[in-house]
Each structure stands twice: as C-alpha cells, then as structure tokens.
Amino acid sequence: MDIQETIDSLRRVLESVIAPGVESLRLRLDALERDLQENGQSIGRLDGRVDQLTGRMEAGFSRLDVRIDTLNTGLNARVDHLTERMEEGFSRMDARLDALTSTILSLRQPTYPDAVLTRLEKLEREIAELRRTG
C-alpha cells in the first residue's frame, strides 16, 4: 500500500466512525436549542404573568391601605366622641358629688354638736352613777 491509499483508508474509517457521532451531536444540539427557545418563551410568559400579578398585588395593597386609613379615621373620630362624652359625664358626676357632699356636710353640721353634747351628758351621768355605786 502506498501512502495515499493509507490516508484514504484512514479517512474512510474516521468518517465512518466520527460522522455518526457528529450527526448525533448535531441532532442533540438542535434538540437542546429548541428546548431552550421553548423554555425561553415559557420563561418570558411566566415573567409577564409575574409582572401582572405583582401589579395586581400592589393595586390591592394600595386599596387595602386606603380602607385601613378610612377605618382608622372613623375609629379615631368615634374614640374622640366617646372621650368627650366620658369627660362630660365625669364633669357632671363631679358636680353632683360636690353637691351631695356639701348637702351631707350641711346636714351634719347642725346636728353634730347636739349629738356630742348628748353623748357627753350621757357619759357624765354614767360616771356620776358609778361614783355613787362605787
């Protein structure tokens, strides 16, 4: 065999061994490329969906914030109103207690010395009686 025949023979052997492997690799690479494109489109759709959901959530949160602020304002107004009514009630109760206290004191003052004198007289009588019996 001469060198050219050897080269041609080696070329045929290599092409018969390598060509199917190269073709298989090409097919696998093409399949991977298609999968990547499909996944890329799928990821693009998912990104769009996530963006849409994020927008809806933000809108929902802003509506919720408005409702919370409205409820807070209403509750604060009610608490303020109740506080005012309680203060008015406490003022009326204080005035009534002051009037009642002054009435009680005015009723007791004239009778207090009389009661003390009556008790003192009774004690003096008891002491005098004890001296007589003792």
> Per residue in 13-40, pLDDT tens?
877 777 777 778 888 888 888 888 888 7
Which band of pLDDT confidence, cut at 50, 70 and 90, is reported for residue 46?
Answer: confident
SS3 134: coil
| pLDDT 10s digits, 77-128 | 999 999 999 999 999 998 999 898 888 777 755 556 777 788 889 999 999 9
Question: What pLDDT does residue 1 have?
Answer: 59
How many separate domains does the chain show? Answer: 1
Half-sphere exposure at residue 10, Cβ-oriented, CA atoms within 13 angstroms: 7
- What is the spatial distance between Cα 10 and Cα 1, in angstroms, rounded to a whole number? 12
In a domain, 127, yes or no: no
| 65, part of any domain | yes
Phi and psi at 2, nearest 5°, equal: -95, 175
- Among 6, 10, 29, CA closest to 18: 10
Instruction: Identify the DSSP state of 100.
Output: H
Digit-coded pLDDT (tens) for 48-66? 888 898 999 999 999 999 9
Q: Which residue has the tokens 């008015």?
A: 88
Residue 14 maps to a domain: no
Output the pTM of the full model: 0.41
In terms of residue numbers, what domain contains 65? Answer: 23-109
Given this model, what pLDDT does residue 114 score?
A: 74
